[in-house]
Amino acid sequence: MFPSSITQNRVFVTILLLAAFCIACNSGNGSERSAAKTDQATNAPAHPYDTTLAKGKVIDSVLCITQPTNSYALYLPVGYTHKKSFPCIYFFDAHARGSLPLKTYKELADKYGFVLVGSNVSKNGIPWSVTNDIVKVLFNDTRDKINIDTNRVYTSGFSGGSRVASSIAIFNGGIAGVIGCAAGFPGIDRTIQNQFDYIGLVGEYDFNLMEMEHLDGVLEQNGFRHQLIVSEGVHGWAPANEFHTALLWLQVDAMKRNLIPKTDTTLALALRADLEKRAKAAKTVNDLTREHQLLAGIVTLLDGVVDITAFKKQFTALDTCTAYKNENASFSKQQRIETNLQHELAQQYTTQDEKWWINKVNELNTLATNAKTPREAGMNKRLINYLGLVSYLNITHALKIGDLANAEIYLRLFKLTDPKNPDVPYLSAIFFAKKGLPQKAFESLHESVDMGYNDLNQLVNEPAFAEMAKDPEFIKIIEKTKSN
């Protein structure tokens, strides 16, 4: 998915992305603030950090002092104290759901001592110049209030938010590592000057899998320390157990950077066991390309931290194996095929009728069921999920311009491709509201929330629901959404 021009130890990549996930990136310099110094006479922090912030509890909204319209969710681990600095991960969700990743990963934050911050403002569709201003205010406010280790600042994001997380590292610098969930880098056409390490997390059936696989190869060619973790699942934030692997990876990465001691090898051994288990699982299904990725990660990151002699031998044997070379070539070919098929489906979306699409989805399901290899099955499942994305984009556009006739057709196609997605009934509710059918809109909203819909900010700010907002039924829906 990334047509690229690459030179050794440089990344010079042009990425073609759907407009919904694009970030028009301009150069910017993030404001850096060093860790607070200590008063030598009293041995007390010279900087007045905010000691009123609760520990061990997700705070849904902390207002930025210099810009009250900018806010963030915050989680301070139970062991946090303002008397010492803590590593911090800044999260960026595609829909500005700041507390969502914090609630998912807070136990991991307690275990490894990470501060978690989630932007409530950054979301898809905002130009990079605006997003970058949001980020600068966010970083400054948190560093004023919290004792953050400026050598261990990380970013993470989901989908379009993943591109924001990478953009901060690429253009602003000062980021030790990025955890990218379900999407890779933004569209860039310049050399990456700032150093950072990268771990990608993506589902096997995520329509962005090929993009992240290709990015992993680009990072390898250009000397980045990197790892890609592929698990069961579709387009979404990584489950806590997968994010656990990413945190272990960041901890060992910090050892390699000499930011934390190498004397305790517990974390390194845990990461080695984790990646070894994944490599064995790949080998079991004869997925040599993925086995190679995982063994390469063990060799690159853990060398010099724990003994990896046996893994070096395995990696060397696989790296020179004819079967692996043949599979890797075939895998590259499949990447191109899948990318081309995605483009064709996107181009056909508004030119074919509903009956044609019903037949196409049934065809893809049949191909997935009768596939000769897991990779072939995965490709067809991802193409169906990709159609769900295209449906979502076309529905939102049709609703925005008042094209309710096409919106109704696209909604049926969306449900056909992604029936368990709570956005299907949510967008249906907007459709019914615009049609002047509030009762049907309420029914669809209840269905959406029952399926797990949890974007409270989106719900209460949707213009189509303005006339329904004071109805007791809408209040019930808000309360149900909060519980999600």
Length of the chain: 484
Q: What is the mean pLDDT of residues 348-361?
A: 93
Q: Which residue has the tokens 């290899």?
A: 373
The reported pLDDT for the residue numbered 189 is 72
Spans of all domains in the chain: 19-260, 328-483
Which tops the pLDDT comparison, 130 or 187? Answer: 130
Number of neighbours of residue 345 by Cβ within 10 angstroms: 19
Q: What is the mean pLDDT of residues 272-291?
A: 95
pLDDT digit string, tens, across residues 32-74: 333 344 444 445 446 789 999 999 999 999 999 999 999 999 9
Angle, vertex CA 265, rays to CA 200 and CA 245, nearest 5: 20
pLDDT digit string, tens, across residues 230-256: 998 999 999 999 999 999 999 999 999
Q: What is the mean pLDDT of the chain?
A: 89
Fold topology of 328-483: 1.25.40
- CATH superfamily of domain region 19-260: Alpha/Beta hydrolase fold, catalytic domain (3.40.50.1820)
Prediction pTM value: 0.86
Burial class (CB in 10 A: 0-12, 13-18, 19+), 230: buried
Output phi, psi for 86, to 5 deg. -125, 145
In 3D space, the residue among 143, 229, 140 whose CA is nearest the CA of residue 179 turns out to be 229
The reported pLDDT for the residue numbered 408 is 96
Query: Which DSSP helix (H) or strand (E) runs through 68?
Result: strand 67-75
pLDDT digit string, tens, across residues 282-320: 999 899 999 999 999 999 999 999 999 999 999 999 999
The reported pLDDT for the residue numbered 359 is 95
Which tops the pLDDT comparison, 36 or 173? Answer: 173
Q: What is the mean pLDDT of residues 428-445?
A: 97
Q: What is the mean pLDDT of residues 75-97?
A: 96
